[in-house]
Structure 1
Amino acid sequence: MVLDSSCVFCNEIITKRNAAIVAENDMVISFMDNAPVEPGHILVIPKEHFENIFDIDSRYYIEVQLMAKRVAKAVMKAMGADGINIGQNNGWCANQRVMHFHVHVIPRWCDKPFKWGRLNVSFDDLSETARKIAKVYNEMEKNGDFE
């Protein structure tokens, strides 16, 4: 596994597992964004270090996208969302703040004002939301709902 010792995702998420994890496999991991735009905001990252879309190996890119699709279905159901934003930024000028390839999965509701500001949420709250989404994710996986 190739990691970057200066990368917060490599160190804190992949190595130390210091996150509210939702789902993972051998190649990717999904976890709660610690400064979410909305409750249920999830990040999906490869378990190897790639800086951006121009750098990521195709196999990892595909696995990240498949996990983002699965997580999106689970977060919609678990959070009762009406829609989902899926986004990915490349480079500082494009608002990429962690230089490790990652995809944002952000639930949205029709009756809430659309915003991009960040929320201040406790780790306990993130963990509780992660458990809620992970439970739905695992049920959907068991029932074959991702195919």
Structure 2
Amino acid sequence: MTGDCVFCAIAAGTHPAPVVYEDEDTVAFLDITAVTPGHTLVVPRRHAADLWEIRPEDWAAVARTAHRIASRIRSELDPDGLTLFQANRAAGWQDVFHLHLHVVPRATNDRLHRPWVASPVPLERLEGMRRRLDLRTTAQN
């Protein structure tokens, strides 16, 4: 547990939360600032501030739990869709600095909107960045 981290306290059971699932590696609980009914957060028990800090095995555990929660949301709430959202650092819209994955049930016309408008970029404009990020050309995998 990390000092004053509320999600560490929830994971440790020392801070109240509407927990819907827990296992050895993760805890899932309803978001107290839910944007839709059933909006659930999945957190690793082991503190990691963000995706750059989390151990791969803990991230895999978060994904497994999110899948389990999504299945339960589907069977119990029958949403029209589902959005997963995970933010990193203040510039990435993270507000609690313990990695968390939002599992948000969606309804058609629920008034939630994408934060950006997608528009195609020509492949030739992507080539320089593709080369910079291409893991196939480095020993780092």
- Normalising by structure 1, what TM-score? 0.73
Correspondence list, 1:1-147, <5 A:
3-110=1-108, 112-115=109-112
In 2: Cα distance, 1:23 partner to 1:109 partner = 23
* Percent identity of paired positions between Structure 1 and Structure 2: 30
CA-CA distance at 1:114 after TM superposition: 2.7
CA-CA distance at 1:79 after TM superposition: 1.2
Q: Which amino acid aligns with 1:95?
A: W
Conserved in 2, the CA contact under 8 Å of 1:13 and 1:19? no
The structure having more radius of gyration, on CA atoms, is 2
| Residues matched between the structures, number | 113
Aligned twin of 2:121: none
Q: Which amino acid aligns with 2:14?
A: K
Greater RCO between the two (CA within 8 Å, min separation 6)?
Answer: 1
Conserved in 1, the CA contact under 8 Å of 2:6 and 2:15? no
Mark the runs of 5 or more structure 2 residues left unpaired by the alignment: 114-141
Aligned-residue Cα RMSD (Å) equals 1.3
CA-CA distance at 1:13 after TM superposition: 4.3
Q: Which amino acid aligns with 2:93?
A: N
Q: Which amino acid aligns with 2:35?
A: V
Conserved in 2, the CA contact under 8 Å of 1:84 and 1:107? yes
- Normalising by structure 2, what TM-score? 0.76
